[in-house]
Structure formats: structure tokens, C-alpha cells
A = this chain, B = another copy of it.
């Protein structure tokens, strides 16, 4: 029997990304699927001391009740999971589903955080885990208006105890709970989560590493390889327009302009940085339910070359978002666990490779992010 030592606690544990990640983990563990899409299995990272697939134990929070095996069937109909895996992984999915706790955000926020932290601590204790990495893969929240307490941990903790305040959005409350439970945290969605100075302060005080935010899985991934190309060739990008069509739960969430706003902000932040200045860059997200789990993005780049020559590049990306995100969630669990074991704390800028809006790094160029990741990981031991 393998020694299971690392926990992965998923916030939003019954969502599409979580279900795909857990299904994949079970398939990898059973040797039923190759580790395609898993960066930590690349030769470049061979030799880094990471938890094995068999050493990851999964639990999590969710407000939804549909069990994981049922969710996996729905994802198979949507083309994200292969039908032929369902029978083999069903027992494992049921086991993980038994480790999912219902999150309740009712009551004073300090109490909510204590309950959330207690669930994680109980999971760690009961399963005998040396550490638990908490990863937020829940639905995107609307952007949060800044508050003074977000920048000051002591003030934040006072506000959390105030029954009349809701100073933190759920994603940040989950991050707070994780840190107080002594767990590293990964903000995989565009929600605020751990991206607040007060939580950075807490992480450093606790000696915990964290990473985020907003997994870079599709259009933005392509943008962060193409934009440096134009820059390296001294070509002047004049405009970069983008349209995203998506269905599924993500599409419905982002149909609400308030929620979409979070996403659009993290998507746009990199482009100006990459191109060294402002360009006209209209960007849309449309909810197109019939596309289901498939996300289609079209980008049109207009650029200027020698002597004013006008040229263009357009691309269409057709991806299955959950299938792109899930292996990164597993990669992040392994890498952040290793960082924690190595005693790192604070924002892990070397993980910018994984994110649209990297915490702890200003680097958006994908090739540079790749190199930084490899160097950092090899330096872990």
C-alpha cells in the first residue's frame, strides 16, 4: 500500500474542473490514461521531488450536492471525459465524494472561516496527511469593491468578527480559512481569493506559500506566446480584438456582466504589459449554452511592419476548458506541496506560467514563464 501523505482540498469540489481533475487523477493512478497535459510529468521536471499521483488524497468543499460520479457522466456526454473510463473510476469518485463537505457561508464571517478551517483540519488529521494544498476552482465571483481592511490583517480580523460586516467575498474567506488551517492556497479562478495584501501578510506570517490567479488555459495562453513574437520582431501591434464563446456553467456565470468583469480584467491585464503600451483591445465573453464545455475564442490582431505595411493575424481556439484546467490543478497541487515542504512562503511568482494574472510576478511572456518555472522547480531539490 502506498504511503499517502499530501492532501488536495478543492473549493468547488463538485464543479467541472474539480470533477475532471479527480477523474484524471484516478485514471493516472490506475494507469488508464497517459499524463497528457500534466506539466509536472515533462522530462524538464524529472528529478523534482513531487508527491506521486498515488500520494494525493482529495477532499473539498462545495455548495452543490450532485455527486462526483454523476457529474463525471455529464462530462462524458459533453465530450470532456471518455465514456470508457467511467466504470473504472466510479468507486474512486464515490470515495472522494465522501470527503466533500457542504460549505455554508451563513453567519459571522469569523465563524464561517473557523468552520471551513475545521473541515480541512479534520480531513488532514483523519487521513494522516503531512500537508493539504487548498485550490479554489469554484465559480467566478463579481469583482469586490476595495475596502481598507483588505490591506491590514489586524483590521481585517476585527471586521471578520463584526456580525454586521461581510468584509471578504467567499473566495477570500476560503483563502483565509486555508491559511489559518496552516494550508498553502492556490487561486485558480479570477475571483479575488488570496489576492489581498492582508492575506499575503497572513501567509507570510504563517510561513505558507500561495499561488494564483486565474488559470491560463486558452485564448490568453496563445496571446502570451504571440505578443512576445511581435515585440521580438519589432512589429507594432495596432489592435488586438477578442471574442469568447462559451457554454456550460462558466458561460452562464459570465453572462452576468458583474462576473464577466473579473474575467475580462485578468484577461486584459497581460496584453498591455506584453505589448509595452496600450492598444485597442476590445474583448467579449458571450454565453452560448449550446457549446457546452467547448470554448471557442477568436482573436484578430492588426499590426504594422516596415514602412507602414498593414498586416493581420487571426486565430480560432477551440478548447475544452475543464480538460485544459484539470491537469494544471494537479500540477499546482504537487508543485505547491513541494514548495511548502521546501519552506517557501508568500506568493510563488515562479508559478506565473499557470496564470493569467500572476501573483508575485510581472512576467506575462509564456516562454520566460516556462524557463522560470523549470529553474525554480529544479531548485526545489
Contacts and interface: CB of A to CB of B under 8 A. Distances in A.
Contacts of A312: 296, 317-318
A307 interface: yes
A282 interface: yes
A103 interface: no
Interface in A255-272: none
Contacts of A308: 33, 36, 82
B286 A282 contact: yes
Number of copies: 4
A284 B27 CA distance: 40
Which label, helix, strand, loop or mixed, suits the secondary structure of the A interface?
A: mixed
Contacts of A311: 318-320, 323-324
A90 interface: no
A54 interface: no
A123 to B, nearest CB: 25
Contacts of A82: 307-308
A104 interface: no
A332 to B, nearest CB: 13
A366 interface: yes
Interface string A276-307: 00001010101111110000101010101111
A184 interface: no
A15 interface: no
A2 interface: no
Contact of A282 (B36, B239, B288, B317): B288
A241 B39 contact: no
Interface of A: 20, 23-24, 27, 33, 35-39, 41-42, 79-83, 85, 221-222, 225-226, 228-229, 232-236, 238-239, 241, 243, 245, 280, 282, 284, 286-291, 296, 298, 300, 302, 304-320, 323-324, 326-327, 353, 365-368, 370
19 contacts: A37-B233, A37-B234, A81-B307, A83-B83, A222-B313, A225-B229, A232-B367, A238-B290, A239-B288, A239-B291, A243-B243, A282-B287, A284-B284, A291-B302, A309-B320, A309-B324, A311-B319, A311-B320, A313-B318
Given A282-B286, A282-B288, A367-B367, 10 more contacts: A79-B309, A79-B310, A222-B313, A225-B226, A228-B370, A280-B289, A309-B320, A309-B323, A311-B324, A312-B318
